[in-house]
Structures are given as structure tokens and as C-alpha cells.
């Protein structure tokens, strides 16, 4: 599969060729069918991305087209990643080679799971999604860059489209603090104080 | 912005800190784990050299991969065996309680935590499973998380979260006989859409909700996520307290009245402000069945599959894909659609009252020729209670198979699955393409009583015609 390293550190831009998967409400069962969840590591998931959709399309799925091999940006439509909370879905996409997802909207758990891996999910409006998908399909070699600083999606020459990303996740990605564990552990005293004020952790002791 | 709602109060109480990225660090009161989404989290913890911060606040069970015929170890499927063995080793190493097979307490994670009294009002509940919204039935803020977040909760008993807006779903009136919480929630999702709840917590309230039992409230909140809402909840009331009293992990003795007083204080008050409100009339809802490939593609059992013209323009591509995949004819009645497999179970509808409702239909009837019908209780406790009430006999005499507890054909990670293009009547929660284990298998979601009606008639049937 991909030899590109997984995301680390600050993420200010994701550049490379792109791949379009069209359709609304593409759920995580489609991104990675449940039978591939029988594993205790994520390492083998890359080749299984969209396995059943690909089988149904008999080699015509974008993930099976050699022209799109090595794509780093995935361009989708509405409510992408809905359904199951399985992190196996973004893990499969990441291990296939995807480093940013651009779409009309994302299911929340999927968005958060991607963020935790350093994969930005950037929003565009309906017309932009269709235009970018058409551009990619017309020219699979098209190099695009999703810039988290300027919030633009740019082609090498010519087109540029506006991107949307909420301030919080954007700052987390740009500062390299998208992996929350360290931040959460830094607040030990505040954690203890919070636990101490929760009645159910004090056995509902009399005040 | 919402204020004074249960969601706001519980959120504020559990807020640990504001994080640099602008999200909130939220304390997690109860963390539930299972064999599918936890192994990589434990592995990551080990890689980082971290310990489980509060092992007593994490509770484990095994549900997704367990076979429902023989549960003898080792399992026939070596991968399933490896997953359970990994969970057992991780729990033993970190001092986490595992309610395992044969313990009398094993079952689907969203069935066992409530029945053990682990889930309580005012808690934050997280689990690496999207149907964690189920626990909101108790007035908890409960949501599904990914594996990286499971790691974070194990390491810190907290999560980085953004606050949701709150939409009140106000339901007037009463459900008719033969219409269940499942129909109510399928109807809500049909109207508001599978994306309608994105960014929201759903508060279910109103006379129809007040009248629901705890098990019905769990069915309702369970599917909030299918409407896009990461959590759904019902304010705690006497029904909640009556359900909890006496359960193994519920407060007892002197603590009980103090717990009830605190729980009452958390409910959304008359001064509560919501970001949005939508109203429904329970009396107008019919038994509801999905015809498509998302839970939002539902219709009353007395309706016809919507034609393209009857479909909103932006929903048409999905409708066309659903026609193709489901092989149902636009404009044709959904009632009378032949089915192959009937599945009663899952965290949506695998509780005792669900089995009772289905048994009421099955009693004295026979599963139609050529139909495979099976009942999978949601937990060992549900199974024991059903057997004590003689429900297993009702089902087996009618020609249903009676199985051991687990997730089973809800997602088909165990041997229970559709074959080829088989079509199921299913009391589960997802009709996604391929969900029930065959890449081109088809699913019709409905209430357990409606599944029983389909089983005995061999086709989609309005259960009201079979009830006394
Ligand atoms: S019953 Fe289905 S939806 Fe519920 S936890 Fe199991 S697999 Fe998930």
C-alpha cells in the first residue's frame, strides 16, 4: 500500500493528487465492512477500504483505478462517515493513503476520529464538491493542495475553492496538538477536582 | 444557545478545563468497552507507556463477535477467539471488571449497563460504539467515541469534546396499540432525516415520552444516532427511579434518597432554553418500516414506496440507489413484501419487553414455510427472564430459533448473517448496504412485533391486524 508516513506534528497543508467518491450518506459500514473489524490491530485495513462497494462495481470503483493510486485527498459529498463509530474507517482510509477529506458535510464521530489521526475533514459547498469531483475525474493527475492556513483548495494552476474548518480543530491541526492525550493528562489536578464534585463518585454522601 | 437543560447541567458539572484547541475537557463518569473497539486502544496505551487512570470507572463485556449457537471456548472462529482473549488479557492486566460469557451478566453493552444499574442519571457515559446514545434514556449524556478516544478515556478518564446544541423533540398524545418506541423513532428520523440531528443532542419530552417505560426510552435514545444526533436523552422521572432501585450497582440505603434528589434536580426545568424544538403527535404514527438503505428511508406499513417525484430533489440520487439495491418498486405497497429471514434482537430491541411484544404475535402461530426466524436476547439476564416467563417456549413452538445473547445479525460479525440477496425483517437499527453480513443482503427495519408478524406471514404485515 502507501509508503507515505502517517501524520505527525503540525498540519498546515495537505497536497497531492485526489480521488472522488460520490454519494450522500456513505456510512462507515461501506468504508470498512464489519467482517474486517475482526482484528486486534489496524495494520491490515488499507486494502479493505470500500471493499463491498468495490466488489459491487467490479473494478470500476475509484479506489480500484490505477490513475488514482497514491491519491492523498478524498473528495466526498454529504454526511460522509455516518453510522458506526468504528475508527477502523478513517484508519482504513489513512492506510490506503488518504491524508485529508474534503466534502459537503461529515458525521460527527467520523470527523472526530479523523482529527484524532491528524486527518483534516474540510467542508465545501455543494457546487464546489461537484466541481472538484468533476475536475479530479477529468484529470486524475491533477495536483491539489488543501491549505489550512488560507482555507483554500488550490490546483497547481487555475482553480481555487474556499474551504471551511471550525476554529478549534483547525488550531489543533496547525499547532500539532490534534492528538489530545497529552493535553488531557496535563490537567491532573483539575480532573481530581471535577471527580470530587460529582455526587455519584462520592457514593452520594451527605453534604 | 441552550441553557438550563439537563444537557447543559450535566455538561457543566463534568467540565474539567478548556483546551488550547477550543474544545472542552469533559470528565467521563462511566466508560464501557467491548472486544471490537478496545484492543487497539490498549495497544496504544502500552506504546505511550500509560496506565488506566481509573479502572473502576471502566466496565467491559463481550457482545459483537460471540456466536449465538454454541458459546463453548475456544470459538470456532479463531479471529473471534483472539479478540475475546485479548479483551480478557487487557481487563486482567488493568484491573477492569469484565462481565464475560456465563457470568450471568454478559450481553450487549447497551443492554447490560442499564440492567446492572451502572448507567445512572447525570452521568457522562462513553463507549467505543455509536449506540451509546441508548444510555441517555436515564438522563445521562452518553455518546459513542472512536478508538483513539477510548485510549484517551482509559488514560485520563476524560475526553476532548465540543458542546452540542440541544433540540427538544416534543411528542404529544399516545402511541396507538401495535405502535412502539421503534416506530416512533423511525418516524422521527424519517421526518428529520439521517443528517437532521448533526450538531445536536436530542431531548425527547412530552406526554408520549413520559408514558414510555425505560426499555422503550432506551429504544428511542438508541437510534438518536441514526438521526445524526450523537446523543439523545429523556429527563429522569419516577419511571427512571423505579427501574433503577435495587439494581446491583444502583445507590442503596441512605444514599438512595440523596441520589434521587440529585437526579431530580438535573431535569430540564420550565426555564430551560433550547436551540430548536420540533413537535410530533404520537397518535398519528403507524407501524413504520424502512424500504431503503438508510434508517431515514422509512414509511408507514400502510404506505407505498415513495416514487422519485415524491422524493425531495436532493434525496433522489439516494432513492435511486435504494431502488436498485433493494429491488423494491417505487409506488408499490410495502405491506406484502416477501421476506427470507426474521431477526429479533440487538441493543435497539433485544430487551424483555421487546421479546414479550414479539411473543404476543408469535403465540399460537407458526413461522411461514421457508422463512428462517430467530430470537437473540440482548443479555444473559434478558434470556433468563424470558425463559422464566416461558417466552423461549412460545418462540420455539412457533418455529423460531432461540439463541444465546449477543449482537448477532445486527452487524453479522459472528456466524449469523444473510446469504446472497436475502431480505430480512429486522428489529435492529441499520439497513445499510451489506450491514447484515452479505454484500448484497437487504434489510427492512421494524419493531420486534412487526418482525414476528413478518415471520408468521412470510411478508411485511401490519401487526395491528394480528393483535387481539
Ligand atoms: S446490537 Fe448492533 S448496534 Fe448494538 S452494539 Fe451490537 S452491533 Fe452495535
CATH number listed for the domain at residues B288-465 = 3.30.499.10
Cα angle: A112, vertex B85, B74; to 5 degrees:
135
Nearest CA to ligand 1 atom 2: B410
The H-or-E segment that residue B172 falls in is strand B165-172
Do B83 and A40 make contact, defined as CB atoms within 8 angstroms?
yes
Q: What is the pLDDT of residues B434-444, one digit of tens each?
A: 999 999 999 99
Can you give the CATH number for the domain in which A162 is found? 3.20.19.10
Which cell numbers in the block locate residue B116?
Answer: 446492572
Residue A2: band (very low, low, confident or very high) from pLDDT cuts 50, 70, 90: very low
**Mean pLDDT for chain A overall:** 94
Tens of pLDDT, residues B24-56: 999 999 999 999 999 999 999 999 999 999 999
pLDDT in tens, A58-67: 999 999 999 9
Q: What does the alpha-carbon distance between residue A71 and residue A87 come to, in Å, rounded to a whole number?
A: 20
Grid cell 459483537 is found at B64
In a domain, A143, yes or no: yes
SS3 A166: coil
B50 part of contact set with chain A, CB < 8 Å: yes
Element spanning A96, H or E: helix A88-96
pLDDT of residue B153: 98
Q: Break chain B into its structural domains and give their ranges.
A: 6-161, 165-284, 288-465
pLDDT at A3 over 70: no
Residues from chain A contacting residue B14 (CB–CB below 8 Å): 194, 198
The percentage of residues in chain B with a pLDDT greater than 90, rounded to a whole number, is 98
Reported as a single tens digit per residue, the pLDDT across A73-96 is 999 999 999 999 999 999 999 999
Q: Do B40 and A41 count as a contact with CB atoms less than 8 A apart?
A: yes
* CB-ligand 1 contact for B347 (6 Å cutoff): yes
Nearest Cβ partner of B149 from A35, A83, A116? A116
Mutate to test the pocket of ligand 1, among B108, B224, B379 (most ligand atoms within 8 A of CB): B108
* B151 interface with A at CB cutoff 8 Å: yes
Residue B152 · residue B159 · CB < 8 Å = yes
* Per-residue model confidence (pLDDT) at position A156: 79
Pairing of strands B298-300, B288-290: antiparallel
pLDDT in tens, B357-394: 999 999 999 999 999 999 999 999 999 999 999 999 99
* CA nearest to A188 within chain B: B156
CA distance B244 to A48: 43
Q: Which of residues 378-437 of B touch A (CB under 8 A)?
A: 411-413, 430, 432-435, 437
φ and ψ at B61, to 5 degrees? -150, 180
What average pLDDT does the segment B181-202 reach?
97
The total number of structural domains in chain A stands at: 1
In the three-class reduction of DSSP (H, G, I as helix; E, B as strand; rest coil), residue B60 is classed as: strand
DSSP characters over B259-289: HHHHHHHHS--TT-B-SEEEEEEGGGPPPEE
- Please indicate, yes or no, if residue A8 is contained in any of the structural domains: no
Model confidence band, residue A207 (pLDDT cutoffs 50, 70, 90):
low
pLDDT tens for B302-326 read 999 999 999 999 999 999 999 999 9
Higher-confidence residue of A5 and B310: namely B310
Mutate to test the interface with A, among B34, B120, B160, B244 (most CBs of A within 10 A): B160
What pLDDT does A206 receive?
Answer: 76
CATH number of B6-161: 3.30.499.10
Residues of B in contact with A190 (CB under 8 A): 16-17, 25
Min CA distance, B179 vs chain A (Å)?
A: 25
- Quick one: which of B417, B443, B418, B421 has its CA closest to B430? B443
Q: Of chain B residues 266-325, which have a CB less than 8 A from chain A?
A: 294, 314, 317-318, 321
B165-284 carries CATH number 3.40.1060.10: yes
B23: contact with A, CB 8 A cutoff: yes
Q: What is the pLDDT of residue A158?
A: 74
pLDDT for residue B11 is more than 50: yes
| Spatial separation of the C-alpha atoms in residues A102 and B348, rounded to whole Å | 33
Partner-chain contact B432 A24, CB within 8 Å? no
Say if A120 falls within a structural domain. yes
Ligand 1 mean position, distance from CA A165 (Å): 31
The cell for A106 is 461529515
Q: Show Cβ contacts of residue A73 under 8 Å, excluding neighbours closer than 6 positions.
A: A14, A16, A17, A18, A19, A98, A99, A100, A101, A102, A144, A146
Answer whether B396's CB lies under 8 Å from B257's CB. Answer: no
Peptide bond into B74 cis (omega under 30): yes
HSE-up (13 A, CA, CB side) for residue B3: 2
B411 lines ligand 1 (CB under 6 A): yes
Cβ neighbours of residue B439 closer than 8 Å, sequence gap 6 or more: A33, A52, A55, A56, B433
Q: Does B29 touch chain A (CB under 8 A)?
A: yes
B15 touches chain A (CB under 8 A): yes
Cα within 13 Å of Cα(B89), Cβ side: 10
> pLDDT over 90 for what percent of chain A?
90
From B411, B431, B432, B435, mutation site for ligand 1 pocket: most ligand atoms within 8 A of C-beta? B411
**Residue A142's domain spans which residues?**
13-176
Report helix angle B352-362 to B391-398, nearest 10.
40
Asked if pLDDT for residue A159 goes beyond 70, the answer is yes
Mean pLDDT value of segment B394-409: 97
For residue B29, give how far its alpha carbon lies from the nearest alpha carbon of chain A (Å).
8
Q: What is the mean pLDDT of residues B115-122?
A: 98
The answer to whether residue A192 is domain-embedded is no
Number of helical H runs and strand E runs in chain B: 16, 19
Whether A72 maps to a domain, the answer reads yes
- Give residue B407 CA to ligand 1 midpoint distance, Å: 5
Q: For residue A85, give the nearest of B21, B129, B195 by CB distance.
A: B129
CA angle B392, B394, B400 (to 5 degrees): 75
**Closest to B261 measured CA to CA, from A200, A195, A197:** A200
Task: Tell me whether domains B6-161 and B288-465 share a fold.
Answer: yes
The CA angle B167-B170-B172, to the nearest 5 degrees, is 170
Place of cell 467490479: A58
> Which of A34, A41, A178 is closest, CB to CB, to B411?
A34
Instruction: State whether ipTM is beyond 0.85.
Output: yes
A97-148 pLDDT, tens per residue? 999 999 999 999 999 999 999 999 999 999 999 999 999 999 999 999 999 9
With residue A53 as reference, give the H or E element that holds it: helix A51-57
Question: Is residue A76 assigned to a domain?
Answer: yes
Task: Check pocket membership of B164 for ligand 1, CB cut-off 6 A.
Answer: no
Amino acid at each position: 500500500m502507501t509508503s507515505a508516513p502517517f501524520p505527525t506534528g503540525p498540519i498546515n497543508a495537505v497536497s497531492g493528487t485526489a480521488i472522488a467518491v460520490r454519494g450522500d450518506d456513505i456510512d462507515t459500514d461501506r468504508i470498512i465492512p464489519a467482517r474486517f473489524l475482526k482484528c486486534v490491530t489496524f495494520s491490515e485495513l488499507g486494502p479493505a477500504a470500500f471493499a463491498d462497494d468495490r466488489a459491487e462495481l467490479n473494478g470500476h470503483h475509484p479506489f480500484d483505478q490505477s490513475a488514482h493510486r497514491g491519491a492523498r485527498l478524498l473528495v466526498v459529498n454529504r454526511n460522509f462517515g455516518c453510522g458506526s463509530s468504528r475508527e477502523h474507517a478513517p484508519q482504513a482510509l489513512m492506510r490506503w493513503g488518504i491524508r485529508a477529506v474534503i466534502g459537503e458535510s461529515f458525521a460527527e464521530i467520523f470527523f472526530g476520529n479523523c482529527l484524532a489521526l491528524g486527518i483534516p475533514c474540510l467542508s465545501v459547498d455543494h457546487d464546489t464538491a461537484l466541481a472538484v469531483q468533476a475536475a479530479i475525474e477529468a484529470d486524475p493527475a491533477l495536483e491539489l493542495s488543501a491549505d489550512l492556513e488560507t482555507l483554500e483548495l488550490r490546483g497547481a494552476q487555475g482553480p481555487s475553492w474556499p474551504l471551511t474548518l471550525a476554529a478549534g480543530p483547525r488550531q489543533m491541526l496547525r499547532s500539532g496538538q490534534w492528538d489530545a492525550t497529552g493535553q488531557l493528562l496535563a490537567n491532573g489536578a483539575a480532573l481530581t477536582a471535577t471527580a470530587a464534585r460529582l455526587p455519584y463518585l462520592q457514593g452520594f454522601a451527605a453534604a | 444557545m441552550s441553557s438550563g437543560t439537563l444537557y447543559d447541567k450535566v455538561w457543566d458539572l463534568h467540565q474539567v478545563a478548556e483546551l488550547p484547541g477550543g474544545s472542552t475537557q469533559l470528565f467521563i463518569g462511566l466508560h464501557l468497552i467491548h472486544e471490537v473497539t478496545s484492543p487497539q486502544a490498549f495497544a496504544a496505551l502500552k506504546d505511550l507507556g500509560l496506565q488506566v487512570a481509573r479502572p473502576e470507572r471502566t466496565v467491559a463485556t463481550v457482545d459483537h463477535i460471540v456466536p449465538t449457537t454454541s458459546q463453548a471456548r475456544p470459538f470456532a472462529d479463531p479471529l473471534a477467539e483472539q479478540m475475546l482473549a485479548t479483551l480478557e488479557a487487557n481487563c486482567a492486566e488493568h484491573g477492569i471488571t469484565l462481565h464475560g460469557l456465563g457470568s450471568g451478566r454478559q450481553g450487549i453493552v447497551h443492554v447490560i449497563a442499564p440492567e446492572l444499574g451502572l448507567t445512572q442519571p447525570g452521568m457522562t457515559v462513553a463507549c467505543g460504539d455509536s449506540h451509546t446514545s441508548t444510555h441517555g434514556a436515564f438522563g445521562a449524556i452518553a455518546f459513542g467515541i472512536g478508538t483513539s478516544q477510548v485510549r484517551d478515556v482509559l488514560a485520563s478518564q476524560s475526553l476532548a469534546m465540543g458542546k452540542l446544541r440541544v433540540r427538544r423533540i416534543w411528542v404529544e398524545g399516545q402511541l396507538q396499540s401495535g405502535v412502539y418506541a421503534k416506530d416512533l423513532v423511525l418516524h422521527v428520523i424519517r421526518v428529520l432525516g439521517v443528517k437532521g440531528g448533526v450538531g445536536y443532542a436530542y431531548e425527547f419530552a412530552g406526554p408520549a415520552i413520559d408514558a414510555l417505560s425505560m426499555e422503550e426510552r432506551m429504544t428511542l435514545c438508541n437510534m438518536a444516532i441514526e438521526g445524526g444526533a450523537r446523543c439523545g436523552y429523556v429527563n429522569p422521572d419516577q419511571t427512571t427511579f423505579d427501574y433503577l432501585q435495587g439494581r446491583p450497582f444502583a445507590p442503596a440505603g441512605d444514599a438512595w434518597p440523596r441520589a434521587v434528589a440529585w437526579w431530580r434536580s438535573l431535569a430540564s426545568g420550565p426555564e430551560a432554553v433550547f436551540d430548536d424544538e420540533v413537535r410530533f403527535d404520537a397518535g398519528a404514527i403507524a407501524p413504520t418500516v424502512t424500504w431503503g438503505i438508510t434508517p431515514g428511508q422509512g414509511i408507514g406499513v400502510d404506505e407505498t414506496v415513495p416514487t422519485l417525484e415524491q422524493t425531495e430533489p436532493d434525496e433522489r440520487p439516494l432513492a435511486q440507489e435504494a431502488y436498485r439495491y433493494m429491488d423494491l418498486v417505487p409506488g408499490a405497497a410495502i405491506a406484502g413484501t416477501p421476506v427470507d429471514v426474521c431477526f429479533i434482537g440487538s441493543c435497539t430491541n433485544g430487551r424483555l419487553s421487546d421479546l414479550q411484544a414479539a411473543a404476543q404475535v408469535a403465540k399460537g402461530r407458526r413461522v411461514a414455510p421457508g422463512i428462517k426466524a430467530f430470537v437473540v436476547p440482548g443479555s444473559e439476564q434478558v434470556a433468563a427472564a424470558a425463559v422464566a416467563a416461558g417466552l423461549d417456549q412460545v418462540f420455539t413452538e412457533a418455529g423460531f430459533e432461540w439463541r444465546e445473547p449477543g449482537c448477532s445479525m445486527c452487524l453479522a460479525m459472528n456466524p449469523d448473517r444473510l446469504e446472497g440477496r436475502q431480505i430480512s425483517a429486522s428489529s435492529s437499527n441499520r439497513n445499510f448496504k451489506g450491514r447484515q453480513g452479505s454484500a448484497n443482503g437487504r434489510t427492512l427495519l421494524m419493531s420486534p412485533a412487526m418482525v414476528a408478524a413478518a415471520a408468521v406471514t412470510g411478508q411485511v404485515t401490519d401487526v395491528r391486524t394480528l393483535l387481539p
